[in-house]
Amino acid sequence: MHVLTANWHTYWEGFVGTIELTAVSSALALLLGVLIAGFRVSPVPGLRAFGTVWVTLLRNTPLTLLFFIVVLGLPRFGISLPFFTFAVLALSCYTSAFICEALRSGINTVPLGQGEAARSLGMTFGQTLSLVVLPQAARSVIGPIGSLLIALAKNSAIAGSFSVTELLGSYRTINELGYSIIWTFVWIAVGYLVITLAISAVFNLLERRLAVAR
Amino acid sequence: MTAAAPSASALYDIPGPKARSRHRLYGVLALLAIAGLLAWIGYELVSTGQFSYAKWNPFQYVGIQELLWHGLLNTLKAFGLTVLFALPFGALFAAGRLSEHRVVRWLSTLVVEFFRAMPLLVMIFFIFVAMKVQPLWALVAGLTLYNGSVLAEVFRAGVRAVPRGQQEAAFALGMRKTQVMASVLVPQANRAMLPSIISQLVVALKDTSLGFLITYEEFLHAGKLIATNLDYDLPFIPVVMVIAPVYIGMCLLLSWLAHWVERRGRRSPRVRGGAPMATAGPGMGLPPEVRGQD
């Protein structure tokens, strides 16, 4: 307890940093994931191919390598953004590939008749997808998407090693001050558990509220 | 992958001549956008001199090649050791979670759930910094605890997916519970879960790159050493061009193996009537119940 209260400021900064990183990356990953999922089921072969390449490449790239490329590589092209933005880019691109696949498996659970009914009403592909199919698909994969965002929160720990303020990185400051290293890590672990349990609770609630009975 | 076909086509009609020309237009626009992006990357690469002699020459040095080779071997060593320890760990705790003794079951559940909930990097740093373990063993220990716990869930899901009749028939033949487990349930579960197991190994292979962050001298670390060398004109992009294809290639190969096993398993008559084949696909530490759902 003493380690936590004495270093409350450092922990709090890291905790808020992790939450910010997770929240911004989640939003961007969801957006990208929906977009890529749309590409992957679209009638345009070029877009489908792009979606497939995106998902295959990103799902098979180690996240550390992606961080390495984005944080250390993009500045070589004259793109210099804050480290936070780089970390958000790496995390959200990586997670978007997984979210795309989760959504796609959700699209598979929507009965064929739904798409057919939408089409027979004269809806275009965009309307069918955005008004009829995706809302139902998203509802059926709320659980898996929650798990993906929990994984994102856990993965955000990597950003600490690339000069972003976040929870795991706070161990360095506290360690230098000579506090018990074991307790330092215990409180970091508690911090991560709070975040992941919160995400899990929110998604459980959403799942109960929005689930479609089928 | 193939299951997407029917529902995807349910999203749009078979295009007529007008729609086809419109789709062609979209396709061309998309291709132009992608080509534009690639051209921009290519332009930036050339204009910042990423293909210069000074940046690529180091890769001809035997020392550099040995450094990279050594790094790759270290990555594979960490991966091999993780597989070696994580599979028994997973099997042990899966058995624990399926045990008839309440205490064993609770303890195993606690261990598995705890290590799955902790960020892997926090565990690796804890073992490395607080317990002062060498980088290799800190990495392997962290990977084993995490992937072993996920594998325990995979094994357990596999055993539970075997139809009840199998177990009942085995008990009816007078087998003991260990015999039922070892000679009836586990072989069928393994066959069904093999794609998921290999997919989890892809995750482990990807995560060996975390060793980079605790200064374990693996592949990425070797790349960093070369990339930050002023004598070679900081060849960062060339290093990425060499390292990324190798990493992604290794993971793709393993992912492809998982898909191949899955496809083969679905066709195999031995699986018929047994546990359903799990789906392959690199996960993100999802519990297998979620991944194997569809």
Q: How far apart are CA B143 and CA A66, in angstroms?
A: 19
Q: How far apart are CA B11 and CA B146, in angstroms?
A: 40
Question: Is B224 close to A68, i.e. CB distance below 8 A?
Answer: yes
pLDDT at B174: 94
Question: Is B48 close to A76, i.e. CB distance below 8 A?
Answer: yes
pLDDT at B9: 59
CA B227 to each of CA A3, A159, B190: distance values in angstroms, whole numbers, following the listed order: 39, 20, 43
Question: Is B34 close to A129, i.e. CB distance below 8 A?
Answer: no
Q: Which fold has domain B54-291?
A: MetI-like fold (1.10.3720)
A192 interaction partners in chain B (CB closer than 8 Å)? 118-119, 122
The mean pLDDT value of chain A amounts to 90
pLDDT at B228: 84
pLDDT at A23: 96
Percent of chain B with pLDDT over 70: 90
pLDDT confidence tier of residue A197, bands split at 50, 70 and 90: very high
pLDDT at B293: 34
Among the partner-chain residues A47, A69, A144, the one whose CB lies closest to the CB of B240 is A69
What are the pLDDT digits (tens) for B247-261?
A: 999 999 999 999 999
Mean pLDDT value across residues B13-21: 83
Q: How far apart are CA B45 and CA B216, in angstroms?
A: 30
**Alpha-carbon torsion (B129, B130, B135, B138), positive or negative:** negative
Listed in sequence order, the residues at least 6 apart from A49 whose beta carbon sits closer than 8 Å to its beta carbon are none
pLDDT at B7: 42
pLDDT at A86: 94
> What are the start-end ranges of the H helices in chain B?
4-9, 17-47, 53-56, 62-97, 102-117, 120-125, 135-161, 164-172, 177-179, 186-207, 219-227, 236-267, 288-291
What are the pLDDT digits (tens) for B38-80?
A: 999 888 888 888 888 888 888 888 888 999 999 999 999 999 9
Side-chain-side CA neighbours of residue A53 (13 Å): 7
pLDDT confidence tier of residue B192, bands split at 50, 70 and 90: confident
pLDDT at B70: 93
Asked whether the predicted pLDDT for residue B294 surpasses 50, the reply is: no
pLDDT at B20: 86
**Residue B214 DSSP label:** G
Q: How far apart are CA A10 and CA A86, in angstroms?
A: 22
For residues B209 and B219, the answer to whether their CB atoms sit within 8 Å is yes
What are the pLDDT digits (tens) for B115-173?
A: 998 999 999 999 998 888 999 999 999 999 999 999 999 999 999 989 999 999 999 99
Question: Is A46 close to B30, i.e. CB distance below 8 A?
Answer: yes
pLDDT at A94: 95
CA B86 to each of CA A130, A159, B54, B201: distance values in angstroms, whole numbers, following the listed order: 43, 26, 43, 9
Asked whether the predicted pLDDT for residue A40 surpasses 80, the reply is: yes
Mean pLDDT value across residues A16-42: 94
Asked whether the predicted pLDDT for residue B2 surpasses 80, the reply is: no
List the single residue in A with minimal CA-CA distance to B237: A73
ipTM of this complex: 0.89
Question: Is A46 close to B6, i.e. CB distance below 8 A?
Answer: no
A89 CA to chain B: closest CA distance, Å?
17
Q: Which fold has domain A16-165?
A: MetI-like fold (1.10.3720)
**Domain range summary for chain B, segments of one domain joined by +:** 17-48, 54-291
Percent of chain B with pLDDT over 90: 52
The mean pLDDT value of chain B amounts to 86
Mean pLDDT value across residues A131-150: 91
DSSP state letters, B66-127: HHHHHHHHHHHHHHHHHHHHHHHHHHHHHHHHT-SSHHHHHHHHHHHHHHHHS-HHHHHHII
Question: Is A61 close to B251, i.e. CB distance below 8 A?
Answer: yes
Which of residues 68 through 87 in chain A touch B, CB cutoff 8 A? Answer: 68-69, 72-73, 76-78
pLDDT at B5: 43
Mean pLDDT value across residues B193-219: 92
Question: Is A157 close to B117, i.e. CB distance below 8 A?
Answer: no
B251 CA to chain A: closest CA distance, Å?
5
pLDDT confidence tier of residue A57, bands split at 50, 70 and 90: very high
B212 interaction partners in chain A (CB closer than 8 Å)? 64, 68
Asked whether the predicted pLDDT for residue B22 surpasses 80, the reply is: yes
Asked whether the predicted pLDDT for residue B194 surpasses 60, the reply is: yes
For residues A134 and A40, the answer to whether their CB atoms sit within 8 Å is no
Q: How far apart are CA A19 and CA A16, in angstroms?
A: 5
Asked whether the predicted pLDDT for residue B274 surpasses 60, the reply is: yes
C-alpha angle with apex A179: A173 to A183, nearest 5 degrees?
Answer: 100
Side-chain-side CA neighbours of residue A30 (13 Å): 14
Mean pLDDT value across residues A30-53: 92
Q: How far apart are CA A26 and CA A62, in angstroms?
A: 19
For residues B161 and B275, the answer to whether their CB atoms sit within 8 Å is yes
> B150 or B267: which carries more pLDDT confidence?
B150
pLDDT confidence tier of residue A213, bands split at 50, 70 and 90: low
pLDDT at B11: 78
